[in-house]
Copies of this chain bind each other. A is one copy, B any other.
């Protein structure tokens, strides 16, 4: 069938796949110094934020992405206190991080202040922790912020970026990861959103290589469903400064004092199990 004008469509023409959401009632559109941002009201996925034509967040399915970006990395560190989020302007990851009572400070370094201001207006639920005294919203280039960070001054770095083209390309490079590693404490762990394991296997392979070359001792990819991202299947890649990524605070995760809808201790364990085709592509030497 052909879709009429009441659908919003994100196409990845080089991948030959497109996703459409019904109810393309556009509430807002603006060109910022960095990118084009649009807000839509959809029929069945609630409010939708689009950046440069790509779905960033919808009310209905963002919980999976935000929970899977925040909780696995936090439970992979013995006692995370100092957290840096790079990107993440919709503030959904920040909200999940702040659910951890042991976290003492979270800096969110978003390049484009307009993403956050629009999230505050159109996605108030994601921004409900923005005024937590532990949160600091910083509007700057995360690369500069990491370069200026003191050695071993962070426990966790979460790179909640857009795709590895345009403004976010530098966030996928070895030089940046080397600075991240320096800024992390000995038990430090980094996580990077790492695209679709089905469509962009190559991005994930390159990412592992860049992280290892930058000195991280271990790297592992987890996957999760994400219905409104291309292919409906997404990934995040963790990297540990020293030691292995083969354990986490399972008991803490199983007894987490807050509700999650996708994450659980059991999901944590299973999300890292990759199917043979992906394991082979990554040529893990485990």
Interfacial residues, chain A to chain B (CB-CB below 8 A):
1-3, 5, 7, 9-11, 13, 15-23, 42-45, 53, 61, 64, 198-199, 223, 225-227, 231-233, 259-264, 266-267, 269-270, 273, 275-277
Contacts and interface: CB of A to CB of B under 8 A. Distances in A.
Contact of A233 (B5, B11, B225, B275): B225
Contact of A227 (B7, B223, B231): B231
Contacts of A266: 273
**Copies of this polypeptide in the complex:** 2
A124 to B, nearest CB: 21
A265 to B, nearest CB: 10
Given A16-B43, A18-B22, A199-B227, 12 more contacts: A1-B10, A16-B44, A17-B19, A61-B198, A225-B233, A226-B232, A227-B231, A232-B233, A260-B276, A263-B275, A263-B276, A269-B270
A45 B18 contact: no
Contacts of A260: 276
Contacts of A261: 275-277
B17 A13 contact: no
B2 A9 contact: yes
Contacts of A19: 17-20
A175 to B, nearest CB: 32
Contacts of A226: 232
B22 A20 contact: no
Contacts of A198: 61, 225, 227
A269 B45 CA distance: 31
B21 A16 contact: yes
Contacts of A267: 273, 275
Contacts of A277: 261-262
24 contacts: A1-B9, A7-B11, A16-B21, A16-B23, A17-B20, A17-B21, A17-B45, A18-B21, A20-B20, A64-B275, A198-B225, A198-B227, A199-B227, A225-B231, A227-B231, A231-B232, A232-B233, A259-B276, A261-B275, A262-B276, A263-B276, A264-B276, A266-B273, A269-B273
A-B CB proximity, top 10 nearest: A232-B232, A16-B44, A270-B270, A16-B22, A225-B233, A18-B20, A261-B277, A227-B231, A262-B275, A16-B43
A1 B7 contact: no
Nearest to A42: B16
A270 to B, nearest CB: 3
Contacts of A43: 16
A270 B273 CA distance: 7
B17 A44 contact: yes
